[in-house]
Amino acid sequence: MATTPLYIGFDLSTQQLKALVVNSDLRLEYFAKFDFDADSHGFPIKKGVLTNEAEHEVFAPVAMWLQALDNVLAQLKGQGLDFTRVNGISGAGQQHGSVYWGHDADQLLGNLDSSKSLEEQLSGAFSNPYSPNWQDSSTQKECDEFDAYLGSRENLAKVTGSKAHHRFTGPQILRFQKKLPDVYQRTGRISLVSSFLASLFLGRVAPMDISDVCGMNLWNINKGCYDEDLLKLCAGKFGVDDLRRKLGDVPEDGGAHLGMIDRYYIERYGFRPDCTIIPSTGDNPATILALPLRPSDAMVSLGTSTTFLMSTPSYKTDPATHFFNHPTTPGLYMFMLCYKNGGLAREHVRDAIDEKLDGDKPDGPWTNFDKVTLSTPPMGQKSESDDMKMGLFFPRPEIVPNLHAGQWRFTYNPQTGQLKETTEGWDQPFDEARAIVESQMLSLRLRSQGLTTSPEPGMPAQPRRVYLVGGGSKNKAIAKIAGEILGGSDGVYKLEIGDNACALGAAYKAVWSLERKPGQTFEDLIGQRWREEDFVEKIAEGYQPEVFEKYGKAVEGFEKMELQVLKEEAGKPTV
């Protein structure tokens, strides 16, 4: 049998390292995974991280990731993977996390002994053995400084794509620089988790990726370079030049060939010497590469939290949203909404309903929730003259919008525009099943509607397709409501490989980088090789004119409701 080249996509996420191997036809050939809690040795971590609650710090030991990489490669070897077939490697890393290398990092990375492990040889390569994690919230003071530095958070969002966030790397570096000046001075280079992964394969510190660099609050997206003013703020007394050296250059091409694989992997695992290393990107940018996503298609990741991703040519920033450079295609951006609440909020309502209802759940834990959701009319309106029921359900502090944990229930009359905070008319907890899913989807529609266009003459602006990924994507009731609210002229789809979307996207990025014709875009190359029937399943209707219009009115009430709650709660503690 003729063998085609292979490409590896890694996913270095909070709780696992995964490796997914595809061939030129995008078919999955091998998969391996290392779960930090279950499989690592010597690190007292929980869910992949360590915490210092007193200072709201969340961080991961970098040496654990070294242990994981050797283990995953050994697993692939054990499965019979012939590494001489591997043409290219790319990866996806949890966004915003940073790795601090000592001054002799390149020296150590370039002189690895293949008879020893990465952990043995590189554990001492870091000035700081820990990588701040995206769940860290220790940087409120630094965020205030970033938001103020360019005049307002709106301006910061305009320049960098996002207002300041605790997890963003710029505020993290600023805090690190002030808190541990000696360690900062001992730092030769700073990597993102994504470029750290590429560095290990390259045998020297790798440049950051053009999309992932936008998760730092330091990159000026319009100018295509680090922002001089923000570097100044971040570097403090150590100066801009020093920080610029630490961060390194950023290649514009997301498919750039950074170099060949280091000798360590050739000798230890049997890679061939011309296996090429491609920039690794962030896990969210990698997710939109898991399919040939067209501008105006939307992806909704329904996990513990909710993430909404879109590829778009528009750059319309707002403090509540994020823009990144598109990971492969110049001229496009990735738009992202990142909620802290999602699955957990739905589970609370599910459990409350289960408590009230007896009976079997033959179709799994969501049987009652789904039944109740689907038998409740849109916005809880039994007749047109009824008020709409809507609410906010945040078991955790939320960032979209910026609100502390809590629940708020309202009724809204779309004819008069009257909004009332009340539980009157609510049949709790039953009315909440549909209301919570609606609330999550209305928030997505509210914040993405300015970026969508009309997919066909006569149709209102909406995504062409809505793709669902993550745990919640298996739930057909949620998919149905997603289509009713967000639309989707072509329907709502589930990605078959939904749980491994970012590793898959990283592998596709490597395929594109090495097999593209001059000037060929990612969407074009992957689009040609994509086999719709094998890779996605249509799970719900998308656009239905009447209900879409009704939810259009609901969005207006929803926006009013959010503003009212924000006003009422102003001054109370937020995240």
Does residue 565 bind ligand XUL (CB under 6 A)?
Answer: no
Does residue 369 bind ligand XUL (CB under 6 A)?
Answer: no
Binding map of ligand XUL across residues 8-37, x = CB under 6 A, - = no contact: -----xx-----------------------
Distance CA 232, CA 277 (A): 32
Minimum Å gap between C-beta 69 and ligand XUL is: 17
What is the biggest distance separating any 2 CA atoms in the chain, rounded to whole angstroms? Answer: 75
Minimum Å gap between C-beta 337 and ligand XUL is: 10
Among 57, 283, 398, 562, binds ligand XUL (CB under 6 A): 283
Closest CB to ligand XUL among residues 48, 463 = 48
For residue 562, the surrounding DSSP H or E stretch is helix 545-569
- Tokens, residue 409: 């229930």
Distance CA 102, CA 114 (A): 22
Burial 486-515, CB ≥16 within 10 A → b, else e: bbbbbbbbbbebbbbbbbbbbbbbbbbbbe
C-alpha separations of 378 from 48, 103, 337, 543 in Å: 40, 60, 24, 14
Does residue 281 bind ligand XUL (CB under 6 A)?
Answer: no
Tell me which residues in 452-491 interact with ligand XUL (CB under 6 A). none
Tell me which residues in 72-131 interact with ligand XUL (CB under 6 A). 94-96
C-alpha separations of 439 from 202, 360, 400, 551, 555 in Å: 45, 28, 12, 11, 9
* 263 in Cβ contact with 112 (< 8 Å): yes
Distance CA 102, CA 16 (A): 25
Minimum Å gap between C-beta 546 and ligand XUL is: 35
Minimum Å gap between C-beta 3 and ligand XUL is: 34
Pure H helices in 281-400: 283-287, 343-356, 367-375
Burial 377-390, CB ≥16 within 10 A → b, else e: ebbbbeeeeebbbb
Binding map of ligand XUL across residues 162-201, x = CB under 6 A, - = no contact: -----x----------------------------------
Q: Count of residues binding ligand XUL (CB under 6 A)?
A: 12
For residue 52, the surrounding DSSP H or E stretch is strand 50-52
Closest CB to ligand XUL among residues 195, 284 = 284
Distance CA 508, CA 21 (A): 10
Any idea what the Cα angle at residue 306 is, between residues 305 and 309, rounded to 5°? 140
Closest CB to ligand XUL among residues 338, 478 = 338
Q: Which region among 34-42, 244-252, 279-287, 491-499 touches ligand XUL (by CB under 6 A)?
A: 279-287
Does residue 338 bind ligand XUL (CB under 6 A)?
Answer: yes
Closest CB to ligand XUL among residues 227, 283 = 283
Minimum Å gap between C-beta 282 and ligand XUL is: 6
Closest CB to ligand XUL among residues 33, 167 = 167
Closest CB to ligand XUL among residues 293, 555 = 293
Closest CB to ligand XUL among residues 171, 380 = 171
Closest CB to ligand XUL among residues 13, 325 = 13
Length of the chain: 575
Does residue 160 bind ligand XUL (CB under 6 A)?
Answer: no
Query: Which residue matches tokens 């502390």?
Result: 404
Minimum Å gap between C-beta 529 and ligand XUL is: 27
| Chain residues in the site for ligand XUL (CB under 6 A) | 13-14, 94-96, 134, 167, 282-284, 307, 338
